[in-house]
Structure 1
Amino acid sequence: MKKNFRTPILLALIVIGGGMVSLRLPVKEDYFEMSKQLEILNSAFRELNIFYVDPLSPGDLMKTGIEAILESLDPYTRYYPESKMEDVRFMSTGEYGGVGLSLGERWDGTFFITDIQEGSPAEISGLRLGDNLVEINGQTVSNLNMKKIGELIKGTSGTDIELGVSHANTSEIVTFSITRQKIKRPDVPYYGMISDSTGYLILSKFTRTASVEVRKALIQLTDSMGAKQIVFDLRGNGGGLLREAVNIVNLFVPKGQEVVSMRGKTADWNKNYGTTRKALLPDIPLVILMDDRSASASEIVAGTLQDLDRAVIIGQESFGKGLVQQTKKLAYGSRIKITVAKYYTASGRCVQRLHYDDKNSDGNATIQADSTLKTFYTNNGRPVIEGRGVIPDIEILPEDFGFVVGGIMNSELIFDFVVHTINNAELNNELAEEIDAKGFGISDKQWNEFVEFALQELDSELLLNSKRKFPYESNTTTLVSTLEKTMADDGFLAENTDLVSKLKSLVEPNLEEDLSRNEETLRDLISEEMIFHYKNTSGVFIYSLPKDAVALSAVSTLEGKEYLKVLGF
């Protein structure tokens, strides 16, 4: 029997993972109880404003009250005052007024440019990666936080802003006058061939253009580049518009197939959505890559394609967000985003992991016990369970960099070394000539320069209390430090000082040895950062994909007999 799917117009307004809808739904409530509680709140608010000893801002007080109420529900139900409407629009469109740069915060509280979008006002003006942001419109940023800085840099397209920066290793402030433009990063930041017959594309978010961008990438991969099979990367994709998730499934699944259903507090939110068009690639072999940051709309795509035995899922268990939000207009231009329903993939399972209506004694959401989880089945009879996100067909655990490499990555040491290298005119010219995203690797000379740079920046006296806040502690050194503190608290340290000192010396880190031990991994990370500075995002993908264990597993699965076996054919 043919499913009666709801209209695309309604679907276009619903957001999974943040966004908006504009519907009027009748809701039966105990209006007396609601009126009573509103009257109590109104009375308390009025008395506070009249009698509280210190001056109060009614707007700030009300915002705090609303946010406290919403915080007791779930992290997705949120209040947006009129000043945050740009954030609401960004969730659905992916567009904002700005200059096209990203910032990071250093160990000393200063802010620096970590990314500049190609073709953006920031790039055209001459701003560089690694520049330190000092002023905005003549106002110092030293007493501002990242959130406030972001609000100041964003603004209406066509308006001007002045950014005062100091280039790396200099203190001179250079002022750039920049005109804001409408900024939108592509939903598909990269696509290309990962093997002779395998196409690859990555989708970073589900905004209004997601399915169009995916469709264009697939056409290019299959028609122009010769792809016979596809690896579709949803790692790190936190979701977006439900419409786009359904449209993307429709690229691989024929017309008339249910994709997702919703069930809410009222019958009005009990809806089914399915494919309404002819599929672009109904038969092409397909692998979906996921990780623990893949959520919401990503889980609809992966979960439904898994339910239909249309794709093999490789990677890690996904986040597990099966909740639907609706944004409603409030008075004076403000809005509220409310969780109104749960969604269910084609097999009937809900991927929601956390239960916010059943919190423990600490106030944290609970996870449903394994023994109570229901099992559902794919078209070919493969078991899939609810309540755990999307569990991959082939699990590949994430790479564990260890405390040394992880600490170096978090300290921005590699980024700063590359900026230092680029700012050296002679080294910069050498790099510009030799960098090729496909076959590049740093030379022994460059590795030795990095080791020297690291030792200078992270000398032995600063390792545990570094100016970079370098977390140079393994689990072992942490345990020894904890042991020392516990012995001191219990009064045993004084008589065992020599023993503890010997133990500490045994596990004490040696930076030079640790750099050497992790040389291969660090060389890759330095090479990747250099490529990013010269070749941007596409260059990083070209360089890193041949080394990506999850992506390589996908290619191997597609090119071998395992693909059909996993799907139950």
Structure 2
Amino acid sequence: VIGNRSFGKGLVQSPRQLPYDGLLKVTIAKYYIPSGRLIQAIDYSHRNPDGTVARIPDSLTTVFHTAGGREVRDGGGITPDIKIELPEVNRLTYNVVRDNWAFDFANRYAATHSSIPAPEEFEITDTIYEEFKKFIDPARFNYDKVCESAVDQLRKIAEAEGYMNDSTKAQFDVLAGMMKHDLNHDLDINRKNISPYLAGEIVSRYYHQKGEIINSLRNDQTVDTAVTVLTTPRYNSIIHP
């Protein structure tokens, strides 16, 4: 298994109607995988004092073994043999996708361009990205300016704890000026994160979901790792430790 640790869904629920339009979700079964382990990551039978539940700590998990002899554990989803650390999606990229800027731009792009290269070849060029940047209306584009918010929060903490004086205030003002967000600049430095979403939207307008998937596989770190592992002795060393 290559990728990230899975969520840990190992329970099966069935709804039961209650009076006054109520509904009760009852656990009626559990998923077990061939090694005999339960991958459920949350123990609902043991709750924190405030009523919340937490993931099962690794110290309370049980060791199982696959048919090939690999050591695996229960209580936490599927842990991959080879972990792929994917980059976190920042707030700017999140807002581009959530507020449909990439979606709307792809619609306009498809309406003004009769064709694009095949999914295997299509990429977000400098020209396309500049068009996208111009498409975004700064007056309507809202995103969390994390750096500015962090500086403001730190300023409030300094004032509350008695560290604010003329000297620190001047330093905060300098820092605030350095951390001032500029949309054009932010779009430039986040191009690597935004481009895959933008490419997927555009390709899907011409080649539908199949084309979108083909395009996404061009720069898929997990797939690249799989190709490498499956064509080297490492595969057998993992399956038969």
Structure-2-length-normalised TM-score? 0.85
Contact 1:414 1:529 in 2 (8 A): yes
Contact 2:124 2:199 in 1 (8 A): yes
Q: Which amino acid letter does the alignment assign opposite residue 450 of structure 1?
A: F
* Bigger CA radius of gyration: 1
Compared CA separation, residues 320 and 483, structure 1 to 2 (3 A): same
Partner SS state of residue 366, structure 1: coil
Q: Which amino acid letter does the alignment assign opposite residue 458 of structure 1?
A: P
Contact 2:115 2:206 in 1 (8 A): no
Distance 1:470 1:395 in 2: 31
Per the TM alignment, residue 536 of structure 1 is displaced from its structure 2 partner at its CA by: 1.8
Q: Which amino acid letter does the alignment assign opposite residue 205 of structure 2?
A: H
Per the TM alignment, residue 369 of structure 1 is displaced from its structure 2 partner at its CA by: 3.1
Compared CA separation, residues 508 and 329, structure 1 to 2 (3 A): closer
Q: What does residue 562 of structure 1 align with?
A: 234
2:145 to 472, 496, 519: 472
Q: What does residue 39 of structure 2 align with?
A: 351
Q: What does residue 93 of structure 2 align with?
A: 405
Contact 2:5 2:79 in 1 (8 A): yes
Segment of structure 1 superposing worse, 485-494 or 552-561 = 485-494
Per the TM alignment, residue 376 of structure 1 is displaced from its structure 2 partner at its CA by: 0.9
Between 1 and 2, higher relative CO (CA 8 Å, sep ≥ 6) is seen in 2
Q: Which amino acid letter does the alignment assign opposite residue 186 of structure 2?
A: D
Contact 2:43 2:56 in 1 (8 A): yes
Per the TM alignment, residue 375 of structure 1 is displaced from its structure 2 partner at its CA by: 0.6
Identity of aligned residues (%): 28
Q: What does residue 216 of structure 2 align with?
A: 544
Query: 1:42-441 counterparts in 2 under 5 A?
Result: 313-327=1-15, 336-423=24-111, 428=112, 431-441=113-123
Distance 2:102 2:239 in 1: 42
Gaps of 5+ in 2: none
1:438-482 alpha-carbon deviations (Å, 9 max, x no partner): 21124433222222223xx126xxxxxxx44312324xx443121
Distance 1:335 1:492 in 2: 53
Compared CA separation, residues 501 and 329, structure 1 to 2 (3 A): closer
Compared CA separation, residues 368 and 526, structure 1 to 2 (3 A): closer
The structure with the greater share of residues assigned to helix is 2
The structure with the greater share of residues assigned to strand is 1
1:191-231 alpha-carbon deviations (Å, 9 max, x no partner): xxxxxxxxxxxxxxxxxxxxxxxxxxxxxxxxxxxxxxxxx
Q: Which amino acid letter does the alignment assign opposite residue 63 of structure 2?
A: T
Compared CA separation, residues 383 and 432, structure 1 to 2 (3 A): same
Distance 1:550 1:517 in 2: 24
Distance 2:192 2:3 in 1: 24
Gaps of 5+ in 1: 1-312, 460-466
Per the TM alignment, residue 323 of structure 1 is displaced from its structure 2 partner at its CA by: 1.3
Aligned length: 240
2:156 to 485, 498, 506: 485
Q: What does residue 132 of structure 2 align with?
A: 450
Contact 2:9 2:41 in 1 (8 A): yes
Distance 2:183 2:27 in 1: 49
Compared CA separation, residues 374 and 546, structure 1 to 2 (3 A): same
